[in-house]
Structure 1
């Protein structure tokens, strides 16, 4: 199979299982109009994240990497009315676009965007003794993935679900000789996951409208 076939199947899944959604469509349109890169999760992947959060019964969610707020909206929809999602974004312009998208989706009351380098923000959260999260979604700059894993563990409790996106990268992540910094970050992340006794984990490769990639899924025990 090839990319056109993968995209065609994703389109069929979306048409079958994801009814039209004005807020999400407006989020994608506003993000494109604002010049944000089209690197958000696919719609079926976004709903998968929402289902993970619902199955976990998450009340507190941490997202590392906001972009235009597309995955943020999916995750926040899984929260109860008193739930809280903290999402971290480096780029102030991206955060501004995301804030408007999240407000349009009616979720501003349960989402907080914190702007700045994620490593510094996470360190401040840990130092402040911030309450642990039930689900952590890592989808930011890949070279820092090992540091994001350390922070996620520090902000977790037994039962926390950790999801990391883009861990396959067209299969390049399987190449130990790669000089790509993102690949190197993913490989170090996966090695740390494997060596961490507090985690039970696996990874799944995917194909679809976003190409050949995959995600890692870990449970804190």
Structure 2
């Protein structure tokens, strides 16, 4: 692969092009990003293309109940909620109360508040209080706790549930088996669990773009 193909500036330019040609520009989601920035939230939301992908996952799977672990300012939550059928619901968990308040205002701005159940607290404390099954689980929280999130994603699933782990490639560091980075170790743990569990069929996809070099893991729960 040539240097041009991996140049971050080129990747960002391609993302911009895709946004235009695929009509990904969205004033409501742009306002969400602006509100997040104004509140000092870290700029780690999914990209517009990734948000559309999440919405398509909901549509393709026919999901009515979605669980999101890691809300931040609610950008991805809104993408998931918009794709739900009538009566569908997203349960999303955010550890930081200040972030959750920003997200709550964003949900109202987007007209999605009635589709979203926002829970505040550490996810591993909140997850035992939830009732499954969920049709789709999106895990995008602190990486060192991925093994615990994996366990609860399975407990709250059913045959056919789709499970997505975000940010598993870590700019390629995931392949460093000697890494001492807890985030890398958490991603490696998630991939091992997804790959070795007898009820799961899983894959992982590398991505480039405005969010840099990363990727996601995707699995479907079997019988």
Q: TM-score, normalised on structure 2?
A: 0.96
Question: 1:21: Cα distance to partner?
Answer: 1.6
Q: Tell me, what secondary structure is at the counterpart of 1:109? A: helix
Q: Tell me, what secondary structure is at the counterpart of 2:40? A: coil
Counterpart-to-counterpart distance in 1, 2:172 and 2:201: 23
Q: Give the match for residue 73 of structure 1.
A: 78
Q: Give the match for residue 183 of structure 1.
A: 184
Cα deviation digits, residues 54-97 of structure 1 (max 9, x gap): 00011000000000000000000111120110000000000000
Q: Match for 2:21 among 6, 16, 40?
A: 16
Structure 1, gaps ≥5 residues long: none
Q: Tell me, what secondary structure is at the counterpart of 2:83? A: coil
1:105-120 matches, cutoff 5 A: 105-120=110-125
Q: Give the match for residue 6 of structure 1.
A: 11
Say how many residue pairs are matched.
217
**Which moves more between the two structures, 2-11 or 75-84?**
75-84
Q: Give the match for residue 156 of structure 1.
A: 157
Question: 1:19: Cα distance to partner?
Answer: 4.4
Question: 1:20: Cα distance to partner?
Answer: 3.1
Assess, with a 3 A threshold, how the Cα gap between structure 1 residues 4 and 111 changes in structure 2: closer, same or farther: same
Q: TM-score, normalised on structure 1?
A: 0.97
Q: Give the match for residue 135 of structure 2.
A: 134
TM superposition outliers: structure 1 runs of 4+ over 2 Å = none
Structure 2, gaps ≥5 residues long: none
CA RMSD of aligned residues (A): 0.8
Q: Give the match for residue 207 of structure 2.
A: 206
